Structure 1
Amino acid sequence: MTASAAKQTGLGLGVFSLALGAAEIFAPERIARALGLDEHGTAKTVIRAFGFREVAAGVMLLRGPAVSFNAWNRVLGDTMDTAALLAGLRMSKRPGAILGSLALVGACAALDRWTASALDEETGEVLPLDKGQSDISGR
């Protein structure tokens, strides 16, 4: 993947994160219901909290789409999503919906990891700095 393609993918992931996060923040009950979980219990709270995490990840990617740390942040979020979905699988009335969500998260995780790795390879650093910005003192 070229640096330009990785940056474009980072921008796209940022927009996706904002949209997904907004849905999780403003409609956690509907998401819980679609997954067959109790829409008034813990699932609602977890989904909303994950929404705020997703919005933060989106903002970071839109602000710095070529910074691999921002893409790695999404990989960490994918891990959290997977763990939460696996926990919800045991209590879901719609296990097929949970399994479908796990497949989507897996696909997103693969794209996130691919993007983060490409950005790491391009810059050689997890947190690339522009030349001249690494010296905080300004000398």
Structure 2
Amino acid sequence: MTLNWDVTRKSIGTLSIWLGTGALFAPRAITRALGVDERATGNDIALPLLVRLIAARNIAMGAALLVTPVPQARRTTEVTLLLTALDGAAVLVGRRGGDMADRSVGLSMTVLGLAAAGAAHWHRR
């Protein structure tokens, strides 16, 4: 179980760093790829700042997952999964307001589902 969990922790950490880095340097392109309305991504002056703040959080959480020793990293992973759930909730609220495309909701719910399955798997052991 420890080996599986360690591989998962490293995978989540690496993915968080890569996604965060992409969003840090190309916030408008990332939001368009995720399905945010192109009019909003082109005109909203606050959007790049907000996306970069989230990107910095992802990079920090990914780095924490990679450098924290295995026994302590479990808590970091749980916090990361909680933040993923909050992100998913934000996407659902945005979709309800008509600001998000279906593909963004689908992607977010897929990530949330995988995170929830991982959390359930870890806590059963």
Q: What TM-score results when the alignment is normalised by the length of structure 1?
A: 0.70
Larger-gyration structure (1/2)? 1
**Larger helix proportion, structure 1 or 2?**
2
Work out whether 1:106 is the aligned partner of 2:108. no
**Partner of 2:77 in structure 1?**
71
Deviations 1:2-48 (A, max 9, x none): 11111111111111111111112111101222322311424433322
Q: Say if 1:26 and 1:108 are closer, same or farther in 2 by CA, change over 3 A.
A: farther
What is the CA RMSD across the aligned residues, in angstroms? 2.3
Unmatched 5+ stretches in structure 1: 122-139
Q: Which 4+ residue blocks in structure 1 deviate beyond 6 angstroms?
A: none
Give 1:82's match in structure 2, choosing from 88, 101, 120.
88
CA contact (8 A) 1:11 1:65 kept: no
Deviation digits for residues 62-88 of structure 1 (CA, Å, limit 9, x no counterpart): 002622111012112102211321232
The yes-or-no answer on 1:29 pairing with 2:28 is yes
Equivalent residue letter for 1:27: A
Given the alignment of the two structures, is residue 61 of structure 1 paired with residue 65 of structure 2, yes or no?
yes
Structure 2's unaligned 5+ residue stretches are: none
Q: Residue 72 of structure 1 contacts residue 112 of structure 1 at CA under 8 Å; is this kept in 2?
A: no
Residues matched between the structures, number: 117
- Equivalent pair of 1:78/1:108 in contact (CA under 8 Å): no
Letter in 1 for 2:58: E
Percent identity between the two aligned chains: 24
TM-score of the pair, normalised by structure 2: 0.77
